[in-house]
Amino acid sequence: MNTVTGVTTFPDLTDPAFWARDDSHAVLRELRRRSPLWRLESEAEGPLWCVLSHALANEVLGDAARFSSERGSLLGTGRDRAPAGAGKMMALTDPPRHRDLRGLVLPFFSKRKAAELGARVADLTRQVVRDALGTARTDFVRDISTTVPLTVMCDLLGVPDEDRDHVVAMCDRAFLGDTPEERSEAHQQLLPYLFALGLRRRTDPRDDIISQLVTHEVDGRRLPLDEALLNCDNILVGGVQTVRHTSTMAMLALTRHPHAWQAMRADGYDPETGVEELLRWTSVGLHVLRTARHDTELAGHHIRAGDRVVVWTPAANRDEAEFHHPDDLLLDRTPNRHLAFGWGPHYCIGAPLARVELASLFAALTEAAEHVEVLEPPVPNRSIINFGLDALVVRLHPRGAAG
């Protein structure tokens, strides 16, 4: 186990460079042993209370009466600025409105629905892996990890077949563009498309998420079109980004832990248990933001109304008070009460589908590939929202092939 001694100042966790450090977990471990809650004065974000323990993370995320999502669920808007969708998007509402919005789309993300989609997900995934096997070099991010979740989200949203290539191209640029400006521009092009599709679905509804949001009522009134489409956009982003980053970081971890790759291929391997450990290990969603509704106490500290409290997911998911040998990648770990999908009222609505997609991907990879070789140094992103890779160039060596 790596150890760090003599940490004298609390690091700036809002700096993406901290999460790319080899010793980030060791630093957090020492700080967590001193206290589960720290005060950070972030130059970009202002004062923040930082939660580093699993138990305290559960307390904050599970108590919407004390800690609100309406002033933001993620950092990145700067000091004292509520995000544009506050009070309108599922991610930026509190119960009971959050529960009502969530109820509209929950049938599309239930365990039953995820199971129904399993065969299509498996077919799509096997095709993606087969295509990669035929190439000398593959960017795992662009060519493998993004394709299936994006296709499935287009299915669920109700993107017509004739628009699919156009929407996928816009999403590719929005998620994988080379510069922040390119990604932002593509995202701004996506919103008008969703708006136009929403108008069509109001008069010609189908069995899809967009139709559900633009035709049903919440609190006795139909959702304004802009609110409905903000939620569609949020669902699309969340449904693609979580799987994309988790699968890529998990693949990198498996190349660095060959014993885990072999365990995944062994008889008796339980893919459901394995996926939970990959989710815990990668913890790609770096944080969840909440704002104190009123003066309260937390871990012996006085939290004032309006103070912002940040749960740092990778820290909570490596808490030795909850996880035995937290720095070991153990694909048979149980129990595994990780927080990669959050906790409480805002527990990730897409978690059942994400689990199916991740299990299908690694089943296809271990079935087709003897091993996965990393050809170039991974390129980490610079995001404080999702810690992942902008590029992971690999070669999939087919099973049974020489070399």
pLDDT for position 2: 43
Beta bridge partners of 138: 394
CATH number of the domain within which 317 lies = 1.10.630.10
Q: Which stretches of the chain drop beneath a pLDDT of 50? A: 1-4, 403
The pLDDT assigned to 6 comes to 54
pLDDT tens-place string over residues 119-143: 999 999 999 999 999 899 999 999 9
CB 245 within 8 A of CB 251: no
| Residue 289 dihedral angles phi and psi, to the nearest 5° | -105, 140
Tell me if 191 is assigned to some domain.
yes
Helix, strand or coil for residue 76? coil
Vertex 111 angle, CA 105 and 113, to 5°:
60
In the chain, what's the furthest Cα-to-Cα distance? 66
* pLDDT given for residue 80 in this prediction: 66
Q: What is the pLDDT of residue 257?
A: 97
Coil vs helix vs strand at 6:
coil
CB contact at 8 A, 118 and 222:
no
Q: Which amino acid, 143?
A: D
Question: How far apart are the C-alpha atoms of 178 and 393, rounded to whole Å?
Answer: 15
Range of the domain at 86: 16-398
403 in any annotated domain: no
Domain contains 109: yes
DSSP state of 382: -
Which pLDDT score is estimated for 7? 61
pLDDT of residue 357: 98
Give domain status of residue 363, yes or no. Answer: yes
Q: Is residue 3 part of a domain?
A: no
Q: What is the pLDDT of residue 8?
A: 62
Give me the number of domains the chain comprises: 1
Residue at 4 is within a domain: no
Angle between helices 258-265 and 225-256 (to 10 degrees): 100
C-alpha to C-alpha distance for 192 and 178, rounded to whole angstroms:
22
pLDDT the model gives residue 76 = 81
Contacts of 295 (CB under 8 A, 6+ apart): 302, 303, 304, 305
Contacts of 119 (CB under 8 A, 6+ apart): none
pLDDT of residue 186: 81
Please state, in angstroms and rounded to a whole number, the distance separating the CA atoms of residues 392 and 389.
7
**φ and ψ of 379, to 5 deg:** -110, 100
